[in-house]
Structure 1
Amino acid sequence: MNWDWNVVEDFLPRFWDGVLVTLQALAAGALIAFVLGLVWALAQRSARVWVRRPVVAVTEFVRNTPLLVQLFFLFYVVPNFGPSMSPLTTGIVGLGLHYSTYTAEVYRAGIDGVPAGQWEAATALNLSRARTWRAVILPQAIRRVVPPLGNYVIAMLKDSPMIATIGAFDMLGEAQSFSNETFTTEALTVVGVAFIAVAYPASLLIRALERRLVR
């Protein structure tokens, strides 16, 4: 099969539309995952059983069910009982909620990695619990978890094509639609190269950041 640059040229407008959807889903989904993951991590350490146990149950359930099933549930089932969302919004919420359960474990590991002496020093200084978290524990924990969180951003990028199943056409969704209409494969190749072009430099950046934080 010969490569046809004219096909690539015809696909480019739809490709850029898909790139925009992918970046929107990735940026907003990562923001939700990072913020909500921290909430989950702090709630799991709560002394109140009625807070800790439901959060643990929810995060375990979300983490152990497929992302695709969660997207279908949010898009097709939730509107029967609550507000309906657009395909893109549903994809963002689904990605953010799913990956928040993983970032929660990253935050937990970072918090557990803070030396016990830091807690003791904060107690000796008579710092409140809230100030201890805000000024002593979280700054040290966040520094430790930046590289793992970056790895989850790359994982979210690779999982973002799943949102096409509910109608939010990202890069791959646009490529599949175009290929089905034109019976060509150039669009799929372009998208494959695009994913590599984004993910590989990002992985190198995360490695460099990790080395810098270690030093």
Structure 2
Amino acid sequence: MLFGIEWNTANDWVFAWSILPILLRGLIVTVQATLLGFVVGAVLGLILAALKSARLKLIAWPAAVFTEFLRDTPLLVQLFFLYYVLPEYGLVLPAFLTGALALGVQYSAYMSEVYRAGLESITHGQTEAARALDISPLRTFAVIILPQAIPRIIPALGNYLVSIMKDVPVLSVVSVLEMLNVARIIGDRTFNYMVPLTLVGLLYLIMTLLAAFLVRHLDEKLPKQGIPLR
């Protein structure tokens, strides 16, 4: 019995072992899309957070509007826009890259709020002290403020990493052969959906637990007072 589902015959187990290598190829695509989407989201989210915190409203307002637009539109709509609309303007991207970018852009809006909360948790006096020492705003942000904020937001960023991983199956609508799409194709060809979908659920559970463990370990290891820069 697996996930409360009883596999009655030895053929189910033989079938499971035979399709496992194919599912693992889909698993690699899932992991790659997750990591690339997370990196895009983390970098773009940091940029949006920095822009929204700018003193000039001419900079802060467009960033805030763009962030709100991303948060209020579905991932599927953004994915279709990148995959079907951009080629009409001469920008054609592979399906995998388009999907990873869509994930990253969508989650950058949420990550920007995480960054904002982390940055605002740093006392304003440190910024004032850096200004008194004639340290440039960019260097103050990169060397003083950001290294202190990152350890405080690791758990929240880790949650979004897991969320991105679980949203990767959406990319199947643009023909990305991630793990769930591979399982669906196997089910279509063999008329046996229970075994491949059960294996996908088990692999997702393992990945989620592993990601949560790594995030928790990183959170415990990073110094709460900030990342030392040498």
Aligned residues: 215
Which of the residues 128, 131, 152 maps onto 2:136?
128
Deviation at 1:126, TM superposition (A): 2.2
Partner residue, 2:36: 28
Deviations 1:56-94 (A, max 9, x none): 111111111111121111111221123111110111110
Deviations 1:140-192 (A, max 9, x none): 11221122111110110111111111100111110011112111110100010
CA distance in 2, matches of 1:201, 1:190: 16
Partner residue, 2:3: none
- Return the letter of the residue paired with 1:10: S
Which of the residues 12, 23, 35 maps onto 2:20?
12
Q: Which runs of 4+ in 1 moved over 6 A?
A: none
Q: Is the 8 A contact 2:82 2:102 kept in 1?
A: yes
Which of the residues 55, 78, 92 maps onto 1:47?
55
- Where in structure 1 are there 5+ consecutive unaligned residues? none
- Return the letter of the residue paired with 1:88: F
Deviation at 1:211, TM superposition (A): 4.5
What is the TM-score normalised by the length of structure 1?
0.93
Q: Is the 8 A contact 2:46 2:115 kept in 1?
A: yes
Partner residue, 2:83: 75
CA distance in 2, matches of 1:76, 1:14: 29
Partner residue, 1:62: 70
Mean CA deviation greater in 49-58 or 180-189: 49-58
- Return the letter of the residue paired with 2:171: I
Question: Where does 1:59-208 land on structure 2 (aligned, <5 Å)?
Answer: 59-184=67-192, 185-208=194-217
CA distance in 1, matches of 2:15, 2:65: 49
Q: Secondary structure at the match of 1:114?
A: coil
CA distance in 1, matches of 2:32, 2:109: 20
* TM-align CA RMSD: 1.7
CA distance in 2, matches of 1:106, 1:192: 29
Partner residue, 2:4: none
Mean CA deviation greater in 204-213 or 53-62: 204-213
Mean CA deviation greater in 80-89 or 187-196: 80-89
CA distance in 1, matches of 2:69, 2:176: 25
Query: Sequence identity of aligned pairs in percent?
Result: 40
